[in-house]
Each structure stands twice: as C-alpha cells, then as structure tokens.
Structure 1
C-alpha cells in the first residue's frame, strides 16, 4: 500500500516509498516517469503486446477506487459497485490514489504503459472514503464480481481470514475466476498476508530492476510468482504521476498478464492460466519453488506462448474445497446416454425369440410325423 494515503488499516503491511510528481511537464518529472517505466523493457512488453493486448477482457480491481479522468486511464475504466454507505461514486473516484496507480499498470496508455492496454478495469472499492473497510466488504466485492461474470480479480490489500472470505474464495474458484493478490510489504516475519495466502489465489511478490527479490517483499510458502515492484512509475489522481515501490505494483502487473492470456485464449480455465504463468516463470533463488520467488520471475511472452499450446479443459465446478493455485484439474465426463434398448433387455428379447422359434420348429416336426 502506498504510504501517505488514508488507508491506515493496512499501512503496516503495504507501506512503500512514494515520490509524487505533480508537475509532470517539467524535465525532472518527465525523466522520473520515463525511468520508472523500466518494467516495460524488463518484461518485453513490446513482444508480449504483439501477441495479445487483453482486448475485451475485464479486470476487477478491488481497491480504493480509480480516478477515471486521468489521461493515462480515460476510456479504460468501468464503474463497479458501492458497498459503503458514504460512497456513491461506483468506484470512479480515488481520494487515496492507490487504486489509480494499479489501474495504470493494468490498462494504462500514454505516459503510463499498462500490461494489457486494451483490457478494461472495473473499479470495485473495498473501503470507505474515510479509509475504513466495512465488515466483509471485500467478500461482498468478490461476490459482486462473480455475479457480473468478471473472470479476473486484483487485490492488493489485506483482510482478516474468516469463514465468509474463505467461502467466497472457494466460490470464485468454482466460478473459474483468477484471483491475483499481493503478498504484502515489509512483513517477512508475518509471512504472506491474506487473501494472497489463501489456497487457489495467485500470490505475487516483488523484484527490483535486476530481477532480484525486493527488500520489501513478504516471503513464505504461499508465494506463487514475482514481478517488478520497485521504483515503478504510476498514475495518480488529478493528472499527477508518482514513482512507487510495493508488491501492489507486482500484483497489478501480473493481473495485466492474466488479462493478456484470458483475452487471447478465453477457453482456458483459471487453473490453466495460472499454470501457464507459473510453469514458464524464470527460476530464481533455490532451484524449483521457494519461499522468496515462488516459481520464479514472470515471463509474459513465454506464458502467452505456453497458453497457446494448451488444450481447453473443463472449468472447475463449485465445491467446498478450493484447488491449489498451481494444479490443473481435469474433470472427466461420460458421454450422454443414447436413447434405445439397454444390453440386458436386448439379450432377453433375443433369447425369447429363439425360444419361440424352437417351439414352432418342434410343433411343425410333430405335425409332419403325424401325417
């Protein structure tokens, strides 16, 4: 979470550096914004966006709202829902700035380059204007997303695990929704925060410009993948820009990558999309999956190519247990029964026919002998 906003309820977990550039037209600010776009070349977005742009895909951003009037976002933001009594903006305003920042990394155009520029962000705030989250408001937001057929969710804030949230996440898994969540900042001792730590959620950590683990990225067995997080240029409300550091940035970048895959290959299941990302990640740290990098650094181009080789599989059915974030479940189905006679009945009919024929033969032979 960006330091200096009103969302004090998770500041300890999501605190990060923030340099706001309120005069982006000046030389120094322009240089800072350009420098903070390092992730674009690092991720080879030119090649990735030649393969896919996220056209038509929607990403539900459950955050602080979005300033949809920002030049980097105009035309790419859709209203969500209001779950707090004091909000009546349908997510189309942002007094904190955090949601606007993440929206730019997902669908930005112009001075902020989003990963999936032709996708759309649906802004679903999970906190009030004053910064306090309502009870179970994130669960309500996810349920709203499911009801509206949105297949990608990005969450960069933490909530306390409870039965309602757990049930909601299972519901999302059953509805074939990919949930991307930030692992949290400066909380290595506490480990990955919730809901990133929930089964089935793709937990995203952060890296620096060299691709090494960011000093602010939380670690633990739930980390799924890592993406750029440090010194990233983002959009801010009121036509401002900033350079920020935090795993929130990483989660938005990965959500954009999910939009590229789902937009290009809409028949792939949520688990297949996650598998395409994790199986092609660039291994870092200890060989194989580890507590710092998960499966490794995201490689969007490789993930898109891998997705193109996958055969669509059955989407998961709602159940009481959520699948793991990296497994791919294939639901085997039997062919529909065809109308007609069953095998046992057919055997009985044939046997009866043979018996009747035998009786007729005996009668005919008997009559012939009498004659």
Structure 2
C-alpha cells in the first residue's frame, strides 16, 4: 500500500493556467466573460499555527477537549518515539513482520510517514515550533509498524494487536486500489466488535489525472463502516489530488501541512506535504477529542457525532467528494445528536436528489429508508455489511444534522422537492422541445467539460514540481 512521499504544487501558476483556460473557453463559446465574484479569503492563521488550525477552529475545540485518556493506533512504518514533537507521547506498540521494530517505536519508512501521521495526531506543542502540533494533545500514540513496506496481509495483521493493546481509534493513512481483501475485512470487523473507530485515507489521484467519479476509494477505506477521509483545501473546496467515490465519508485538510519527520529525512525534523494521509490523521485527532469529551458514546455514536455535525460542502447531503461534509471539531464536541443503535456507515450509499444539478449520496437520514431489497423483498446487506441502522430519524430530529442542513435528501436548498433522476416527470415537467433543449445543452456541456478537463490535466501535470502522498496490494501512503 502506498504511504507515499509528500509534496506541494505551485498555486500561483495553477491560478494563471485556470485564467488562461477561462479565456479560451469564453472565446470558443463566443460568450462575454464576466468578472468572477471575489472569493472570501481563508481565515488567517494565528501566530504559531497552521492554516488548517484556523479553518477548523482547533483552538476553540481544544478548550473543550484535548483527548486525555484516548489511545490512537497508527498502523504505518513505525513512529520515531525520540522525536522532540513525540517525546513521551508514544506507547510501546507492536511490529508486523521481521523487518519491523518489535515495539513499533522506530520509523522504518523511507519518508518518515508514520512519524508525520503521529505528529499530526498528537504532536507536542511545547517542543520545537508551536505551529507543528497535534489535535488531541493529551492523547497517546500506539505505533504498529509494518516496516519499510506493507501489503494488505500485514495491514490486516496490524489491526489485531492495535485492538488487543487498547486502541480506541485506528488510523490507516495508507491504502491500495481495489476492493479490500478478506483478511482486511475480518480485521476491521474485529475492531468494530471491540468498539474501535477505524479511520482511513481515501487515497490520492495521480498528479494531473482525475480518477473516475465512483468506486475509486482505496481499501481499506472502502470497507463499509470505516471512516473514509477525502481531502479539502483552505477555502473549503475539494482537494483535486484526492480520490473520490461513493464510500467517501468526510473530508479534512490535505495540502500544505507541516509535520514532524525523522532527521534522516529532513535535517530540521520537519517536512511539508500534501495528501489524504494528512486528512485521515486530522480526522483521527478529532475523533480522539470526541471520545475523550464523550466517554459515554460507543464507536457507532462517535461516528454519528462526527458525520452529523460535518459542515456540508458540495451538493447538498452526502456526495462523492466530501462525503457528509468537512469535519467540524467544534460542532462535533458541542452539537446535540440523537443516539443510534449501530454504525451509521453500514448502510449502502444511495443516490439522493439535490440542487446544483448533482445528486448526492445517501446521508444518514437517507440511509434510514432501508437497505436495497432482494426479489423476495428482504433487506440485502451491502458489501457484506450488516443492515443499516437508520440514523435518519436521528439526523432528521437534529436540525443541525446533514439532512436538515439543506432541506434533506431529495430536496433543493429551498426545501422544495426535487425530481429524482430517471423518475417520471411530475407537474410542470418539460415537453418534448424542452427535453430536446435540455439534452442538447447537456451533451454540449459534457463535450466542453471533457475538452477543458483535458487541458487542465495537462497543465497540472506540467506544473507539478513535487510528488503528493499516496495511500502501500502493496499498500502505500495516501
């Protein structure tokens, strides 16, 4: 599974390419270009913080919880327990395979990936630059090392000792394309049975190459019940280096994030990179805040608290880029959310209507309608998962939940019902001419999107100067 090196892209040049493409599109269509409305600037980081601290309001959230008493397992290449940012934060863990440190307290990954993820989760704020620090500052890291490389079998084997050694959360900032193996599914089920929240990175798309719009979330993130994390940007947009798909659960900051690494990787012990590995580590940190502040919540309700309070982004409701939205630590710690009986992610993602021309995916509320039914009318499990629990009543009862944010699934932002794609037209549906116009516009728009998307992809490929983190059948970093 790739764990992957980190990197950034030159934002100024990409903006210039975007401007040129806009002019080309306008001239090709013969349409006058209008000045784009000014975009609100991202919150300025306070002194001694990084951009994502300000965007997520971490300072306020940390006044409520710092993750005391919570153990986060990091399954990776090991963790450098002697790094100043992690001194005293790392428990004795375990190693999987002969090349791994038996206690996990040594980073054998060529890029120091495990140390970086551990630092993003629980790095100290009193040793070294204060802006490089974790989220649950009082939580502890349980390192589970797979050595210099890992495959799906080793990752699955690593989950068992993580659970047995007392992890409350398992962070998997790694992954590989394709469906999860039976070993991975069994190991994740073992974690669920022991009340452990499993968080995994969705994976990274290759520079300049967008993956298909569905089905490309990495394993083990694509296992039902796992919190699959995609990437977001400082302005609240979708990070284009992130994978996306129907199993997306939540988004979190991905690019331009500084983290601790062993000095053999960087002389100053710090490095800046981009990837959904970062996103998963940040979400694991937020989950630790919740588990510490709300010890009464079991893992399914911790997950429900996380997704029901996410800040909706993209099409209303769940979508293939942001999942239920961008993680919101403050809301997750303070907003009341109804209790659920089982993991809300064990429902099959289903299409739901939404404004903006795009259908989202089933939100917790939509999931409550029930799983797909077989020909005999009985519920059919999704991907081997248990039947969905129907967190919908919960989300609908909560005015701040994902369903309520924009009028609920199947509705526009104004709360009016939206016609489902493929459904029969209702009153006021267009006649044959209207349908023809819509079809023509759709085909023309699709052709234009393909043409401009190709140019954007080539431009991004040519302008990329560093690699991005990717999630190692060998698994890699995300």
Contact conserved, 1:201 with 1:325, CA < 8 A, in 2? no
| Unpaired stretches in structure 1, ≥5 consecutive residues | 1-8, 20-33, 331-371
Residue aligning to 1:144: 161
Residue 102 of structure 2 corresponds to residue 102 of structure 1:
no
Quote the offset at 1:149 in angstroms: 2.9
TM-score normalised per structure 1: 0.74
Question: Higher mean Cα deviation, 213-222 or 265-274?
Answer: 265-274
1:77 match: secondary structure: coil
Aligned partner of 2:211 among 186, 189, 194: 189
Residue aligning to 2:183: 164
Residue aligning to 2:69: 56
Contact conserved, 2:70 with 2:292, CA < 8 A, in 1? yes
Contact conserved, 1:56 with 1:263, CA < 8 A, in 2? yes
Distance 1:329 1:293, change over 3 A: closer
Contact conserved, 1:183 with 1:196, CA < 8 A, in 2? yes
Quote the offset at 1:73 in angstroms: 1.1
Residue aligning to 2:290: 261
CA–CA separation in structure 2 for the residues paired with 1:167 and 1:300? 30
Distance 1:68 1:77, change over 3 A: same
Contact conserved, 2:152 with 2:184, CA < 8 A, in 1? no
Residue 238 of structure 2 corresponds to residue 213 of structure 1:
yes
CA–CA separation in structure 2 for the residues paired with 1:325 and 1:294? 17
Quote the offset at 1:324 in angstroms: 7.7
Question: Higher mean Cα deviation, 250-259 or 173-182?
Answer: 173-182
Residue aligning to 1:4: none
Contact conserved, 1:105 with 1:113, CA < 8 A, in 2? yes
- 1:226-245 residue pairs with structure 2 within 5 A? 226-238=251-263, 240-245=269-274
Quote the offset at 1:86 in angstroms: 2.4
Aligned partner of 2:7 among 14, 17, 29: 17
CA–CA separation in structure 1 for the residues paired with 2:301 and 2:222? 20
Distance 1:215 1:314, change over 3 A: closer
Contact conserved, 2:152 with 2:181, CA < 8 A, in 1? no
Residue aligning to 2:137: 117
- 1:1-371 residue pairs with structure 2 within 5 A? 9-10=1-2, 14=4, 16-17=6-7, 37-96=50-109, 97-110=112-125, 111=130, 112-125=132-145, 127-128=146-147, 131-133=148-150, 136-159=153-176, 161-186=180-205, 188-189=210-211, 191-238=216-263, 240-306=269-335, 322-323=385-386
CA–CA separation in structure 2 for the residues paired with 1:72 and 1:143? 27
1:213 match: secondary structure: coil
1:121 match: secondary structure: strand
CA–CA separation in structure 1 for the residues paired with 2:224 and 2:7? 30
- The count of aligned residue pairs is 301
Contact conserved, 2:121 with 2:282, CA < 8 A, in 1? yes
Deviation above 4 Å: which 4+ runs of structure 1? 309-316, 323-330
Quote the offset at 1:93 in angstroms: 1.2
Compare CA radii of gyration and give the structure with the larger one: 1
CA RMSD, 1 decimal:
2.9
Question: Higher mean Cα deviation, 162-171 or 229-238?
Answer: 162-171
Contact conserved, 2:318 with 2:325, CA < 8 A, in 1? yes
Residue aligning to 1:334: none
